[in-house]
A and B are shown apart, each in its own frame.
Chain A
Amino acid sequence: MKIQTKSDLEKMREKGLKSLYPGTTKISVGMATCGLSTGAGKVYEALQKEIEKAKVPMRLEKTGCIGFCQREPVVDILEPGKPRVFYQGVVPERCSELVQKWLENKVVEDLLFCKMEKEDRILEGTVKDYSIRTIPSGIDGTPSYHQVPFYSKQLKIALRNCGFINPDHLEEYIARGGYFALYKALFEMKPEEIIEGVKRSGLRGRGGAGFATGNKWESCRRAKGDRKFILCNADEGDPGAYMDRSILEGDPHSVIEGMIIGAYAIGAHEGFIYVRNEYPLAIQKLKIAILQAEEAGLLGDNILGSGFSLKINLFRGGGAFVCGESTALMASIEGKVGEPRAKHIHTTESGLWDKPSNLNNVETWNNVPMIISRGADWYSKIGTAGSKGTKVFSIVGKVKNTGLIEVPMGMTLREIVYDIGGGIPDGKKFKAVQTGGPSGGCIPESLIDLTVDFDRLTEAGSMMGSGGMIVMDESTCMVDVAKYFMNFLKSESCGKCTSCREGTKRMHEILTEITEGRGTTDHIELLKELGWVTAEASLCQLGGTAPNPVLSTIRYFREEYQEHILNKRCPAKVCRALLQYRILSDVCTRCGRCAKVCSVKAITGKKKTKKEAGEPFQIDTEKCIKCGMCFETCKFEAVEVQ
């Protein structure tokens, strides 16, 4: 159906509401990449069979990621008059029980994660109350969605629809307020008003640098040229970061709507979404969404009958980290090698094929409909003085709750790590949190009350980046961490600038020396000098931020570097070359298990038998390859690591 008028949009919304709340029981399975990788596909199939067997009308739906990736597969059940329930860690074997109990008005208590009485529809600013009449038995002790620490502190703007709609159903997106912002922008606002609104909202680019989005749009609108481009950066490449992927997989229309509004404001009629080829599901969802939007008249020629036209193309990146840099990304679309070039003339004036081009990140585009719908004043009330709105983070590493979270700017790291993340598992001590991807920095415990926004993170020697957040505990060696990121960067630098290519390579080389016990006292200063040159002399921001992991760990964990260099010790017991394994003869029970698992036969001794007392086992340090198998195997803690 072509949408031409507001009443067409309203009709589509009605259709979508029927699909979202069908009047019968609806079971949704989180089928984003995180869900699928933990077996959501099999869960879906199992549920399908169970529903057929049950012979009661029920609907099975696929949805995106609701954020709690660690507890996938997540299944939620919505039935009119009942609270919505969320199950976690569902396996196919339990699906029959899940359906059967639900029909008996019961829940499977050990899989239950939380319940929901009302649903926020933040784009419209409404709340959908489930008007509960019946409460399934066994649900009382379960916390409400809005009380679970993981969710209660979050504010979902960018992730507003993820986990709540089927990304393949355009009408469900519209039912939650989607494309109404586009209608408002096209028919009730002038392009200048939109830009003014985005400027007033205080939205800053979510891709890393935090450039004011409104200003970028304005300079692109003012740039001379009849042909302009609008671009979306979905070349998310930071290790451990997957914010953009989840948005594209769970709510692709939000990005497309944002891009259409932006294109109208700037005066662009052609656009590209540059998405990395390693995101097959995101590409699939985007393809479907673009096609649907075109069929519905929301994209393509004469959008909504307004006379404005926009064509959006999908471009798949070849997997170079550096192609996330704006000029490298544009070179890649042009069919050239993905290498950055000097930007003395901004890409908003001369970008893709030397035409004015406006590039924003997935999350930035996704925020645009919110600003148009709810207004710049509403949006700018969220966040801190310099950073408005919310930010999505993928919180991973040594933290109890890993997953995708969205918090208002200005939340402290402590709240993120301890309240939302649930703290450090296994009773270990918090050590640092690495923000901003490979070129971000490590923030130590002394700064855990730091408020998270663009400027505070930069001051602390790290950066917001695209929103990766890696939590580290005491068993993490900071020199090793710096080495890990430097290894990534030396391989992912495009290699054009001497300072970046050789700088990252040499920093990695020195860090390797240090972790292997060959560090010298000059190394720290040499690293700092190399870091300075890499950052100051390189062309693009890959080089400009590449030394951050090294410089921030030296700044906050210098004593750990010194331990490695002076005493040849790795306090976190990570750097293998610096470790020494020893068997405590008074603790050794002479069971001989360690000698059995030692692959290089470095452990000798005499096993205790009924007749003989045996002899304590010993490790020949010359032969030992420090694999740690003896340490893992010994049940009596007789193997000591130094």
Chain B
Amino acid sequence: MIPFSIDGQPVEGKEGRNILEVALDAGIEIPHLCYHESVKPYGACRLCLVEVTRRGRSRMTTSCTYPVIEGIEVLTRTEKVLRARRMIIELILAMCPGDKLIQDMAREMGVHEVRFKKEDKDCILCGLCGRVCDEVVGANAIQFAFRGDRREMIPPFQGEAMSCIACGACVIVCPVDVIRMKEEGDERTIIRWKRTLKMKQCKICGNYFAPWFQLEKFKEQVKLPKDFFDVCYTCRT
């Protein structure tokens, strides 16, 4: 365990972990949008900024990408940090003024008005959906496209996400809840990625419980027995 301090409080973290994880475990709140425990830290939203002092030198950096190092002093609420976070949340709010979570976060940080032209986007470009799809699911169905202010999270060539298995991991992980899924009869659709897949029926209850593609992929990845997904999760337990 590596000892260091956050806001003067002594904390410990395992080697390879980052400041944000240790802070959250210790009950120290640091706002964040693009971090999720199931994927590698990315450092895109920039909200989890903190000030880190190491060997007498202090700098502002994102806590999700900073590894725990012995003896570092981390400050999570300095004037500099709060000032930067306020502008960043204002920028995100200007981009997605309709997102409920962003509105709440902005209010909490003391941002009550937006000084920029409001856009009507819904995605905050945190990249969590794409990273989960790559690192956890292994489907790589969506990715960032284009650079700079044209950046977008889309299926290849803006068409249907052909390698999407409609597992819904992106739906769950999206912090602003803009990836929606619908199920009708034996079909599941991930609306944002224009992907509709047939679902499998449970041998016991007869419900359609998951897309065929998803079950095949999972069976193959975790090397499950052939008949493992013949019954749904509810009937198995």
Contact = CB atoms under 8 A, between A and B. Distances in A.
B4 interface: no
A559 B105 CA distance: 37
Nearest to B60: A536
B181 interface: no
A576 to B, nearest CB: 21
B94 A342 contact: no
Contacts of B148: 489-495, 501, 504-505
Interface string A531-542: 011001111000
A73 to B, nearest CB: 36
Contact of B150 (A491, A502, A539): A491
Interface string B47-70: 101000000000011100111000
A501 B119 CA distance: 14
A345 B62 CA distance: 14
A428 B54 CA distance: 52
A489 B80 CA distance: 25
B2 to A, nearest CB: 14
A524 to B, nearest CB: 13
B91 A499 contact: yes
B65 A495 contact: no
A571 B235 CA distance: 77
Contact of A344 (B49, B67, B83, B95): B67
Interface in B71-129: 80, 83-84, 87-88, 91-92, 94-95, 115-117, 124-125, 127
A498 B84 contact: no
B88 A533 contact: yes
Contacts of A533: 83-84, 87-88
A497 B44 contact: yes
Contacts of A110: none
A268 interface: no
A422 B125 CA distance: 49
Contacts of A342: 43, 61-62, 65-66
Given A493-B148, A536-B60, A539-B43, A529 B66 contact: no
A526 interface: yes
Nearest to B92: A498
Contacts of B151: 494-496, 501
A501 B148 CA distance: 6
Given A337-B144, A495-B148, A502 B62 contact: no
Contacts of B47: 498
Most chain A Cβ neighbours within 10 Å, of B66, B125, B149: B149
Given A491-B148, A491-B149, A537-B60, A498 B45 contact: yes
A494 B148 CA distance: 5
B146 interface: yes
A506 interface: yes
A322 interface: yes
B94 A495 contact: no
Interface size class of A (residues with CB under 8 A): 35 or more
A491 B87 CA distance: 21
A320 interface: yes
B46 interface: yes
B87 A509 contact: no
A633 to B, nearest CB: 38
A509 B117 contact: yes
Interface string A321-356: 010000000000000010001101100000000000
Interface in B124-179: 124-125, 127, 143-144, 146-151
A530 B87 contact: yes
A522 B43 CA distance: 31
A498 B91 contact: yes
A577 B124 CA distance: 33
Interface string A390-401: 000000000000
Contacts of A493: 147-149
B115 A495 contact: no
Contacts of A250: none
A498 B115 contact: no
A478 to B, nearest CB: 23
Given A499-B46, A502-B94, A492 B147 contact: yes
Given A342-B66, A494-B148, A504-B148, A499 B60 contact: no
Contacts of B92: 498, 502
A414 B150 CA distance: 40
Contacts of B116: 506, 509
A494 B91 contact: no
A499 B125 contact: no
A337 B116 CA distance: 30
A506 B147 contact: no
A533 to B, nearest CB: 4
A495 B125 contact: yes
B146 A495 contact: yes
Given A322-B147, A529-B87, A498 B44 contact: yes
A64 interface: no
A497 B43 contact: yes
B75 to A, nearest CB: 15
Contacts of B65: 341-342, 344, 539
A501 B125 contact: yes
A503 B149 CA distance: 10
A504 B95 CA distance: 13
B46 A537 contact: yes
B149 A498 contact: no
B4 to A, nearest CB: 14
A496 B149 contact: no
A490 B149 CA distance: 6
Nearest to B145: A337
B46 A538 contact: yes
A545 B43 CA distance: 18
B147 A320 contact: yes
A300 B49 CA distance: 46
A526 B113 CA distance: 13
Nearest to B47: A498
A495 B125 CA distance: 9
Contacts of A322: 147
B144 A502 contact: no
A501 B149 contact: yes
Nearest to A503: B91
B230 to A, nearest CB: 39
Nearest to A499: B46
Nearest to A505: B149
Nearest to B89: A498
A536 B88 CA distance: 11
A222 B95 CA distance: 46
Contact of B91 (A337, A341, A496, A506): A506
B149 A499 contact: no
A495 B144 contact: yes
Contacts of A499: 46, 84, 87-88, 91
A532 B150 CA distance: 23
Contacts of A506: 91, 94, 116
Q: Enumerate the 7 nearest inter-chain pairs by beta-carbon distance, A residue then B residue, closest first.
A: A495-B151, A342-B65, A502-B91, A533-B87, A505-B149, A493-B148, A491-B148
23 contacts: A320-B147, A341-B43, A342-B43, A344-B66, A344-B67, A345-B67, A492-B147, A494-B147, A495-B149, A495-B151, A498-B46, A498-B124, A502-B91, A502-B94, A502-B149, A503-B91, A505-B148, A506-B116, A509-B117, A526-B115, A533-B88, A537-B88, A539-B62
Given A498-B92, A537-B87, 14 more contacts: A342-B66, A489-B148, A490-B148, A495-B147, A497-B46, A498-B46, A499-B84, A499-B87, A499-B88, A502-B94, A504-B148, A509-B116, A537-B84, A539-B62
